Chains A and B, each alone.
Chain A
């Protein structure tokens, strides 16, 4: 069964450093998403991406964040200058048009 895969599973970075989280969505899906989940809190929407552009973003997704689909298969989330409060589990998801299929997540720890 096809799956969304994310790498790395755990990333530790120093405050102020740039980090790129990678995702390979399911191949025939057209919609791509990033969510985050701070430890002990709810899953929060960050951004949705369709047709090579951002279709919607939340207030969390400020200028520090960017997304890219650099080739036909990868979908990346870049955080330009990480802050301690960016520490969270980041989930990538993709869909055809309906339910989202989630990756296993990348745990980002900013120290």
Chain B
């Protein structure tokens, strides 16, 4: 069974502070992991996928298979980072994607 856990429903930091949004997963095979972001009144957008190992908008995420985690990090949060963040796992054959409950990040000035 696929499962994604985002333990923090809400996360609030000050501008310029580091931020880490936690994600843990459970999957028997080799997962593909993603972070999606949903800004207020906008559609879900892909932020990162673990395969690409890119840094987007200053965010990075490293897949840790030993800890089954895919935490999202940014060293210096900006106010425009305030949004809902979802960690998602896609199983084999581009089938079902399972989303975590989401974390609402608020970056205060």
Find B98's partner among A41, A45, A100 (CB 8 Å cutoff).
A45
Q: Pick the residue among A41, A58, A91, A104 that contacts B96 (CB under 8 A).
A: A58
Count of chain A residues near B, Cβ 8 A: 25
Report the count of interface residues on B (CB-CB < 8 A): 22
Q: In the complex where A99-B49, A102-B43 touch, is A45 in contact with B32 (Cβ < 8 A)?
A: no
Q: Are B43 and A95 within 8 A (Cβ)?
A: no
User: Interface on chain A toward B: helix, strand, loop, or mixed SS?
Assistant: strand
B86 at the interface (CB under 8 A from A): yes
Are A42 and B100 closer than 8 Å at their CB atoms? Answer: yes
B34 at the A interface (CB under 8 A) = yes
From B46, B86, B90, A43 is in contact (CB under 8 Å) with: B86
- Residue from the list B42, B49, B99, B101 in contact with A98, Cβ < 8 A: B49
Of listed B45, B46, B96, B99, residue having the most chain A CB within 10 A? B96
Residues of B within 8 A of A (CB): 32, 34, 36, 42-46, 49, 51, 86, 90, 93-102
Q: Which residues on A are within 8 Å of B, measured CB to CB?
A: 31, 33, 35, 41-45, 48, 50, 55-56, 58, 91, 93, 95, 97-105
